[in-house]
Amino acid sequence: MSGIRPTGLLHLGSYFGAVRNYVKMQEEYECFFMVADLHSLTTHPDTKELKANVHRVLAENIACGVDPDKAAFYCQSHVQETGELYLYLNMLAYKGELEKTTTFKEKARSQPDNINAGLLTYPVLQTADIILHRASLVPVGKDQEQHLEMARNFVNRFNHRYGEVFPEPKAVNYGSELVKVPSLDGKGKMSKSENQYATIYLSDDDELIRKKVMKAKTDAGPTETNAAKPDYIDNIFLLMKLVSNDETLQKFETDYNNCSIRYGDMKKQLGEDMVKFITPIRQKAENILNDEKYLQEVMEKGAEKARRSAKATMELVREAIGLNYF
């Protein structure tokens, strides 16, 4: 089970970091992938763009290979049971531990005029999402590890107080396969909020992709054979490894090692390979976005699967808590 916030566009980093893992997991496991529209209300109370954003998240993930016939792909707000489970879990979550959460402290700092209770109990709602399906594996990025640790605490408290209902959810780490997608300015990795020009979005058009790649930082080239690469050069090679073929990569490695590399040519090649990689995804996402009937069907099918699983869990939960009076 995993959730995707409908804020911001998919980029190359989220593709290689998250979506590719969803696509792999749906082949092996029963999967629930959820658009976290309720979570987005904690930071984005203005809902004018919400519908468009939810549609875009669905379309982009499907274009990347998430298959609504294999996984349950649904919206959080379509499963009412989430709210009920969230309420029970809130009685097991302590104010102190919630206030200590890193993401809470960060968001409280960035939106001091809207430190709402939903922000404080964000990890409780996330736990409800996960255990509503009694899920045990949660593919997430490093930034979510603390939330998963809290989820395990809430689960253990529930099980201890009311009886074993839930498995302990674990963050799925792809270990050595975890790919770092560097940003184009040589600073950190591609992300939604950092420098827009250093991040390649799956919705960028061909010209913009080429332009962004050509702007990547380089220098005059190595002056000694087999020199170590500076970070920003290494990054260009890393990106090339993701989207270009081995032969191309090998050619530029050789050129680098014998000091004949021309970064202009390398970036031109990378730009073309990036365009070849992204264009079909962007076009597929656009086609899906234009097909509202299809999106409707995806959401309905997903909600149905998620509700079925949620109903079964909630019967166990009410029974365990003792809310069964007749």
Site residues for ligand TRP per CB under 6 A: 1-3, 5, 36, 39, 126, 129-130, 138, 140, 144
Pairwise CA distance, residues 309 & 249, whole Å:
46
Ranked by CB distance to ligand TRP, the top (closest) residue is: 3
Active-site option among 107, 212, 267, 305: 107
Active-site option among 24, 70, 192, 229: 192
Q: What's the CA angle centered on 35, arms 88 and 122, to 5 degrees? A: 40
Residue 146 vs 248, nearer CB to ligand TRP:
146
Residue 88 vs 256, nearer CB to ligand TRP:
88
Residue among 281, 265, 288 nearest 12 (CA) = 281
- b/e per residue 223-255 (b: at least 16 CB within 10 A): eeeeeeeeebbebbbebbebbbeeebbeebeeb
Pairwise CA distance, residues 122 & 138, whole Å:
16
Residue 30 vs 185, nearer CB to ligand TRP:
30
* SS3 assignment for 78-108: HCCHHHHHHHHHHCCCCHHHHHHCHHHHHHH
Residue 12 vs 34, nearer CB to ligand TRP:
34
Catalytic residue status for 241? no
Q: How far is the CB of 65 from ligand TRP (least distance, A)?
A: 19
Q: How far is the CB of 263 from ligand TRP (least distance, A)?
A: 35
Residue among 270, 189, 273, 267 nearest 231 (CA) = 189
Q: How far is the CB of 50 from ligand TRP (least distance, A)?
A: 15
Q: How far is the CB of 213 from ligand TRP (least distance, A)?
A: 27
Catalytic residue status for 105? no
Catalytic residue status for 311? no
Catalytic residues: 107, 189, 192
